Amino acid sequence: MTKSDFFSGISASWDERHSTPEEQERLRRFAVHFRLRQGDRVLDAGCGSGRLIPLICAAVGPQGSLVELDFAPDMVNIARGKAKNGRVEFIVGDAHSLPMPDGDFDKVIALALLPHLDDRGAALKEFRRVLKPGGMLVIAHQLGREALDRLHNESSEPVRRDLLPEKLVLAGLLATAGFSSCEIIDEPGQYVAWALA
Ligand SMILES: C[S@@+](CC[C@H](N)C(=O)[O-])C[C@H]1O[C@@H](n2cnc3c(N)ncnc32)[C@H](O)[C@@H]1O
């Protein structure tokens, strides 16, 4: 089974699990890490069922815009139902080969995506390419690395080997992809990285 089929297959249950008021509130508090500003043009890479749509739209305001991208068509279909205005675009696409021009975005957000990327170096280069100079990549996980790795180790194929890199390894990958500076939090409870293009 491909990863895209796997994620399409769990799309309904993923959405159900993460759409509870408790989960949305936890995400709302966590979203401070995205450092969004009014007017930002944002790529939500590996958007899943679109749980970030209301939060990003509220943070970037009417001058901002959002592209929701995921390679699992069923995830994108669920996300589509959450857009309340025409400022959100939906793309079924692969993070390793983004169908966007260079320098298109102020922010790329990758929430719970990194472990699943088969070629992290290639995807990070793509994120770097589509960011404006000085734009920011935010890699974020609401669980610490050990807890998330345990969860994936206990999962079925094709995601059971999808583990998070240690801090130094991620810093190296970001530098190789051309990011100029980065800050990484790898602690129990959260794993977040910010990198500037
Ligand atoms: C764990 S889910 C997280 C979804 C969403 N970001 C969230 O936090 O609710 C990972 C998502 O990344 C998507 N994904 C994994 N690899 C991808 C790739 N190479 N390109 C695009 N999407 C990908 C999956 O289809 C899935 O929807």
- CATH code: domain of residue 154: 3.40.50.150
Does the CB atom of residue 71 touch ligand 1 within 6 A?
Answer: yes
| 114 phi and psi angles, rounded to 5 deg | -50, -45
Rounded to the nearest whole angstrom, what is the distance from the C-alpha of residue 18 to the centroid of ligand 1? 14
Q: CA-CA distance, 125 to 81, in Å (whole number)?
A: 30
Buried b / exposed e along 135-156 (16+ C-beta atoms within 10 A): bbbbbbbbbbbeebbeebeeee
Does the CB atom of residue 186 touch ligand 1 within 6 A?
Answer: no
Global pTM value: 0.96
Q: Coil, strand or helix: which one is 51?
A: coil
Q: What is the pLDDT of residue 84?
A: 80
Does the CB atom of residue 95 touch ligand 1 within 6 A?
Answer: yes
Provide the pairing of β-strand 131-141 with 190-196: antiparallel
Does the CB atom of residue 34 touch ligand 1 within 6 A?
Answer: no
Cα–Cα–Cα angle for 39, 40, 45, nearest 5°? 150
pLDDT category at 83 given cuts 50, 70, 90 is confident
Does the CB atom of residue 108 touch ligand 1 within 6 A?
Answer: no
Q: Coil, strand or helix: which one is 76?
A: helix
Does the CB atom of residue 141 touch ligand 1 within 6 A?
Answer: no
User: Contact 128/102 with Cβ under 8 angstroms?
Assistant: no
Rounded to the nearest whole angstrom, what is the distance from the C-alpha of residue 39 to the centroid of ligand 1? 25
Query: Read out DSSP for 113-174?
Result: -GGG-S-HHHHHHHHHHHEEEEEEEEEEESS-HHHHHHHHHTS-TTSTT--PPPHHHHHHHH
Rounded to the nearest whole angstrom, what is the distance from the C-alpha of residue 30 to the centroid of ligand 1? 18
* Mean pLDDT computed over 145-170: 91
* Mean pLDDT computed over 36-65: 96
Q: CA-CA distance, 172 to 182, in Å (whole number)?
A: 10
Q: CA-CA distance, 129 to 178, in Å (whole number)?
A: 9
pLDDT category at 2 given cuts 50, 70, 90 is very high
What domain range is 44 assigned to? Answer: 3-196
Pocket test for ligand 1, best of 7, 13, 138, 162 (most atoms within 8 A of CB): 7
pLDDT at 35 over 80: yes
**How many angstroms separate the Cα of 189 from the Cα of each of 90, 105, 147, 178, 192?**
30, 29, 8, 28, 10
pLDDT at 85 over 80: no
Looking at the 3D structure of the chain, how many domains does it have?
A: 1
